[in-house]
Amino acid sequence: MYAPPIQRLISEFSRLPGVGGRTATRLAFHVLRAPPEQAAALAAAIVEVREKIGECEICFDLAEGPRCPICQDDRRDDALLCVVEQSQDVHPIERTSEFRGRYHVLGGALSPMDGVDEDDIHIAELYERVRAGNVTEVILATNPTTTGEATALHMAAGLRELSPTLIITRPASGLPVGADLEYADELTLGRAMSGRRSLNP
């Protein structure tokens, strides 16, 4: 239907998550119509990010160099460790400006049906950090999905065995600010009810 170079570009765009055939075609033709310097800048940015960005040697977040900016920041609280599934989960937490501890990026969630077990993600490294450091609290901020919940429960059991005095917490989940009860699904409303807090002085 299209010349082979265009078809190849469409095929490559369609590999991106959330990009279907029509969107891939629009993106390909946008690149084709863009000034040569814009297309070259896009290609250079893709090559650069693949060449320069890797994993932090401590927390496994994305980093340019051996350590990410958070692990290099001496002002962070070493006693507080937040565990997330993926690197992109760090930034929403950082935007809240409510957390000043360290992070640990698992690189996924346990899913035996998909062939993802403990050796495929950074759980052993988490245990090692807790064993070696002065961590007093671990926040298990995995996603509130079936695999995320299972991963959090698995890690909580391992952490309790490793350090009985360690505080293990999970972020509260429930109704978003401004939401109406009538539009909440049963699972979200159930979590909001079970995680209710006292308003007593």
179 pLDDT higher than 80: no
Distance (Å, rounded) from C-alpha 25 to C-alpha 14?
8
What burial class does residue 85 get, using C-beta atoms within 10 Å of its C-beta: 0-12 exposed, 13-18 middle, 19+ buried? buried
Which has more confidence, 180 or 61? 61
Residue 166: HSE in the Cβ half-sphere, 13 Å Cα cutoff: 26
pLDDT tens-digit profile of 97-141?
889 999 999 999 999 889 999 999 999 999 999 998 789 999 999
Exposure string (b/e) for 23-58, b if CB count within 10 Å is 16 or more? ebbebbeeeeeeeeeeeeeeeeeeeeeeeeeebbeb
Cα→Cα distances 191→89, 174, 186, Å: 21, 5, 9
Mean pLDDT of 162-191: 80
Distance (Å, rounded) from C-alpha 182 to C-alpha 191?
15
Which of 58-62, 108-112, 119-123, 192-196 is predicted with the least confidence, judged by mean pLDDT? 192-196
Distance (Å, rounded) from C-alpha 192 to C-alpha 30?
45
Distance (Å, rounded) from C-alpha 50 to C-alpha 73?
25
Q: In the chain, what are the domains?
A: 4-52 (1.10.8.420), 76-169 (3.40.1360.10)
How many Cβ atoms are within 10 Å of 141's Cβ, its own excluded? Answer: 22
Q: pTM value?
A: 0.83
How many Cβ atoms are within 10 Å of 65's Cβ, its own excluded? Answer: 12
Distance (Å, rounded) from C-alpha 13 to C-alpha 144?
30
Q: Identify the pLDDT of residue 2.
A: 87
Q: Identify the pLDDT of residue 96.
A: 86
% pLDDT > 70, the chain: 96
